[in-house]
Amino acid sequence: MYYSSSSRSRGYRSSGSRRYDPNDNFHLKSRKDSGKTKLLFALAVFLVLQSLYLLVSYIRMSIAEADTLELTLSERKQQQELDILRPQAQKLRADIETLGQGGLPELTRLEFDKVLTMDQDYVKNIVFTVSGRGDDRVYEYKMVMHNGSLNLIHPQVDILFFDPQGIQVGMSRLGVQGDGVTPTLEVMERGEIRSFSSQIQLSDSAKPGYFRLRIWK
């Protein structure tokens, strides 16, 4: 049987593989380039995020180190100030002790349950007592007076109280009312001896360490 060349050509084309298309390589290359671009973009984003994280961490560490350094410098400054003030406080305490022991004759160390001889005008001696515990302590005194003069006297005495640092913390007035004029005690005769007792009114939680008499004539 005879077949024409055109028929053979059509049969060959219909039964053979697909004809080569140059655009196939272009599409394949485009897909590869697109995959690389996405990978590079993801890598760039990762590097940017990591850089930001490292930058934030560095800033936080820098701030923490600065705060620590500032705190350390502040503590050193406070310690230096304390080192300067400590000798001054010790000197002040020593000066107060000196005042109480004779630097100022009118300032006397307050001792409890002991007869303290005064011999100031008509005040002969005084005894201080304390009772209670903690902040509920009660301070009292008993004063002995003697009129050794030839005149009648109206006894009027102020007792000023000071804490161990020398700061006045209270006062007790004997023989006169709060106005400082009206007497509350009878006149003492010549040669008369009397004793008077009273509580001591102090500032809140104050502890007396010294006292001084102020005698009105």
**Confidence (pLDDT) at 21:** 55
- Bridge partners (DSSP) of residue 146 are 193
**Confidence (pLDDT) at 15:** 46
Q: DSSP string of 26-39?
A: HHHHHHHHHHHHHH
pLDDT of 162 above 70: yes
Residue whose entry in the numeric block shows the structure tokens 């009129």: 147
pTM of the model: 0.52
What does the angle CA 207 – CA 145 – CA 139 come to, to the nearest 5 degrees?
20
Cα–Cα distance for residue pair 155/198, rounded to 1 Å:
15
Instruction: Select from 138, 141, 117 the least CA-distant residue to 128.
Output: 141
- Express each pLDDT in 87-110 by its tens digit: 777 776 766 666 555 545 568 999
The residues near 157 (Cβ < 8 Å, ≥ 6 apart) are 123, 143, 145, 173, 174, 175, 213, 214, 215, 216
- Express each pLDDT in 58-92 by its tens digit: 888 888 888 888 888 888 888 887 788 777 777 76
pLDDT of 147 above 90: yes
Cα–Cα distance for residue pair 32/26, rounded to 1 Å:
10
Most confident of 23-32, 125-134, 169-178, 201-210: 125-134
- Bridge partners (DSSP) of residue 115 are 127
Residue whose entry in the numeric block shows the structure tokens 């973009």: 41
Host H or E run for residue 213: strand 210-216
DSSP-derived letter for residue 166 is S
Of all residues in the chain, the percent with pLDDT exceeding 90 is 32
| Range scoring the smallest mean pLDDT among 23-27, 35-39, 80-84 | 23-27
Cβ atoms 154, 200 nearer than 8 A: no
User: Which one is predicted more confidently, 22 or 36?
Assistant: 36
| Range scoring the smallest mean pLDDT among 26-30, 113-117, 135-139, 203-207 | 26-30
Residue whose entry in the numeric block shows the structure tokens 């936080």: 60
Q: Name the token pair of 146.
A: 């003697």
**Confidence (pLDDT) at 37:** 75
**Confidence (pLDDT) at 6:** 47
Looking at every residue in the chain, the average pLDDT score rounds to 79
